[in-house]
Chain A
């Protein structure tokens, strides 16, 4: 009788341990899924923040008087002055700190599409090995000497810490 009671008790004990092991297993699986979900959510939030700041950066850049066309009336399209772009390119080293405070860590290139296909690197403070976000903006390149508009693309590559 005592022997049977002991056996029953042992069986119940093992049963309890079995239940605990299974429960622990499910809790661990749940924790793994939860942490994976949290990680993806936070990565997505970071990506969205970077994208938002990139949009603001590009909009500020295309209206910067250092580069934008100068007209009496507001222009509907993004327009860069060819000679202003050349000037920023030529004075990159001389005013390096000023441009870096303005443009940050970025590579800004003005690529002519029509009629020619030349390009000007307006600003370059690229950091090799860093991740970057890139935006392409179709715009006009205005030559105030000949009063001509060329079709171009502004390639903005902004380096981010990921």
Chain B
């Protein structure tokens, strides 16, 4: 009777050890199955936002460059393009550029221009994790201030409705291409 009891206990122990071993094996297999971001994807996420901002700032628009439009928007607002001021024109071309790139590629984005007590942004969708921001500073010399151009991108759904927001900057009511911020969609 005692012999049978000890045999049963040993069997039980062996059974538990086998279960733990199988469980560990499953854990290892599942961990290896997780997709880790390939270096190419990391390169894309880190570089693409910066590349976009740098290229966008250099782009010619309205017989000048986007960088100069930003400067004008945050200083004298003397440039007029297609009947609208530089800030409205800037929002329009930002919308077009972002939608034709990140919008088509299935990314959500938040491009913001902040400086000199003004801030406005162009957004699509909602980024839960603020990954890979692109960042550029534009000096407003001789005004001792800078404009911070920031671009956050994150993977989104192509079915997300486009929302565009404006911050402190309040454009005239008849300016095309600007809508009140409607937050997350």
Contact = CB atoms under 8 A, between A and B. Distances in A.
Contact of B52 (A79, A133, A138, A150): A138
B56 A151 contact: yes
A138 B55 contact: yes
A141 to B, nearest CB: 9
Interface in B50-78: 51-52, 54-56, 58-61, 65
Interface string A44-66: 10011011101100000000000
B58 A77 contact: yes
B38 A113 contact: no
B29 A48 contact: no
Contact of A76 (B33, B44, B54, B100): B54
Interface residues of A, number: 37
Contacts of A40: 32-33
What does DSSP make chain B's interface, helix, strand, loop or mixed? helix
Contacts of A41: 32
A37 B48 contact: no
A29 B25 CA distance: 10
Interface residues of B, number: 31
B96 A36 contact: no
Nearest to B37: A51
B4 interface: no
A9 interface: no
Interface string A120-162: 0000000000000101111110000000111111000000000
Contact of A47 (B32, B38, B65, B100): B38
A114 B93 contact: yes
A148 B60 contact: yes
Contacts of A26: 18
A78 interface: yes
Interface string A1-43: 0000000000000000000000000100110010011001100
A55 B39 contact: yes
Given A138-B48, A140-B58, A113 B101 contact: yes
B159 interface: no
A139 B51 contact: yes
Contacts of B41: 51
Contact of A140 (B29, B44, B55, B93): B55
A33 B96 CA distance: 51
A120 to B, nearest CB: 16
Nearest to A153: B101
Interface of A: 26, 29-30, 33, 36-37, 40-41, 44, 47-48, 50-52, 54-55, 76-79, 113-115, 117, 133, 135-140, 148-153
Given A33-B25, A51-B38, A149-B65, 9 more contacts: A26-B18, A33-B29, A40-B33, A52-B39, A77-B54, A79-B58, A138-B52, A139-B55, A151-B59
Interface of B: 18, 22, 25, 28-29, 32-33, 36, 38-41, 43-44, 48, 51-52, 54-56, 58-61, 65, 93, 96-97, 100-101, 105
Instruction: Report the 6 A-B pairs with minimum CB-CB distance, sorted nearest first.
Output: A51-B40, A77-B54, A138-B52, A148-B60, A151-B59, A51-B38
